[in-house]
Amino acid sequence: MKNILSLAFVSLLLISCGGKEESVEQIIENGDITAMRAKKTELVNEQNAIKANIDSLNAAIDKLDVKKKAALVTAVTLQDTLFKHYFEVQGNVDTDQNIVLYAEYTGVLTQLYVKEGQRVAKGQRLAKIDDGGLGSELARQEAQTALAKTTFERQKRLWDQKIGSEITYLEAKTNYEAMQAATDQLRSRVAKTVITAPFSGIVDNTMADQGQVVNAGQTGVLRLVNLSDMYVEASIPEAFLGKVNQGTEVKIRLASIGKTYDGKIRQVGNFVSPDNRTFDVKISIPNPDSAIKPNLIATVMVNDYTAENAIVVPENVVQQNAMGNSITYVYEEQADGTAIAKQVQIEEGYSDDQRVEITSGLEAGDRLIVEGVRSLRDGQAVELKDQSSNNQ
């Protein structure tokens, strides 16, 4: 009623002004507060009427527009793919060329020819122990052996010519052989006073100082390491004995240096430990930059299953229904141009790296819904966010 009176008042005001409606700017310019209020009321009423009409239109559109209710999803077209499953075990990096060289002769360490970090070649002299006069004794022994050899060779020539007695020839031969054996033994003892590199590598640590007395078999002199022939040794549960062979593919992750390597098992142990029911394997690992060190902890991922033409889906699209069955949804177009989410029951195989192998229920060419799948129901109308689906 109040609005009607306001409109009537405005109408009279317009009639009194000659029937010509004034603009907002003119009313403000006239400074008539009553006219201003009347104009404001008129505009508010018009605004409310327009809003009511818009709300009515929206309600009608929502009722008639089917696509308005469709859930927005994304889908991918499934394809056959190579799928590999791995199981993990812990391993340790090692090398066969990582040894401590011990003194083989008791005496004073007179010379240390190398420094820590120095690269050396196989057979290179690394250290010298005082031989306590063995060198001089060897020189005398070698001279006596040379004389015994000359005597023997002369007696042999005479005996070959049937000159002289056989006993003289045999005595010369026996004497020479005895002298040669003594010389070889003494030479072996002198050789133990020199420490040489059994293989090429790097002097990792010197453990004895020059001038120190070292004891045979007890005093470590230095550690020699070769990082070019590294491997990882791991223990694998006996349950995998039939799935692990020489040449089996593996991935090796070294968390401490942030690297992962591909490799193959080079050796499979023939002994199952009765203590933990495992067998050992060795995997070669490349080390061109010497970044890998002995005793690093390694995570070994062993390939125990491979499928050439597998259907693989993201793990998060697989759900469980009330019956405990695994289900997922595919995008299915209808004859009228709309689409629905079709629920399919699936069977799962191996899972790996947040992916699941599907052994039944899906096939290549199916359009799998991957986003928005958690809130869907069977037969629900759906619409693609992006009309072009991607391939998986």
Return the number of other C-beta atoms located less than 10 Å from residue 277's C-beta: 12
Return contacts of 220-223, CB within 8 angstroms, 24+ apart: 220/100, 220/101, 220/102, 221/101, 221/102, 221/103, 221/109, 221/112, 221/126, 221/127, 221/195, 222/100, 222/101, 222/112, 222/114, 222/126, 222/127, 222/195, 223/98, 223/99, 223/100, 223/101
- Phi/psi at 119 (nearest 5 deg)? -85, 135
Residue ranges of the chain with pLDDT lower than 70?
1-21, 61-68, 386-392
Mapped onto helix, strand or coil, the DSSP state of residue 81 is strand
SS3 36: helix
pLDDT at 15: 43
> What single DSSP character describes residue 388?
S
pLDDT at 14: 44
Output the pLDDT for position 18. 45
Dist CA 309 CA 358 (whole Å) = 11
Looking at residue 89, its pLDDT comes to 96
The contacts of residue 303 (CB under 8 Å, 6+ apart) are 84, 85, 86, 248, 249, 250
**DSSP string over 125-148:** EEEEE--TTHHHHHHHHHHHHHHH
pLDDT given at position 63: 62
Amino acid, single-letter form, for residue 155: Q
Please tell me the predicted confidence (pLDDT) of residue 199: 93
Token duo for residue 366 = 């199916």
At residue 26, the 3 state secondary structure works out as helix
Dist CA 202 CA 114 (whole Å) = 10
Strands 380-384 and 71-77, sheet pairing: parallel
Q: How many helices (H) and strands (E) does the chain have?
A: 5, 22
pLDDT of residue 337: 86
Measured in residues, the chain has a length of 392
Strand spans (E) along 96-229: 98-102, 107-112, 119-120, 125-129, 194-196, 201-206, 213-214, 220-225
Cα distance between residue 160 and residue 172, in whole Å = 14
Q: Supply the pTM of this predicted model.
A: 0.61
Helices 2-16 and 33-64: angle between axes, nearest 10 degrees:
120
CB-CB contact of 172 with 157 (8 Å): no
Instruction: Compute CA 51 distance to the chain's CA centroid, rounded to the nearest angstrom.
Output: 62
Condensed to tens digits (0 to 9), the pLDDT of residues 43-82 reads 889 898 998 888 788 777 666 665 557 889 999 999 999 9
Domains of the chain: 2-64 (no CATH), 69-82+309-391 (2.40.420.20)
pLDDT at 20: 56
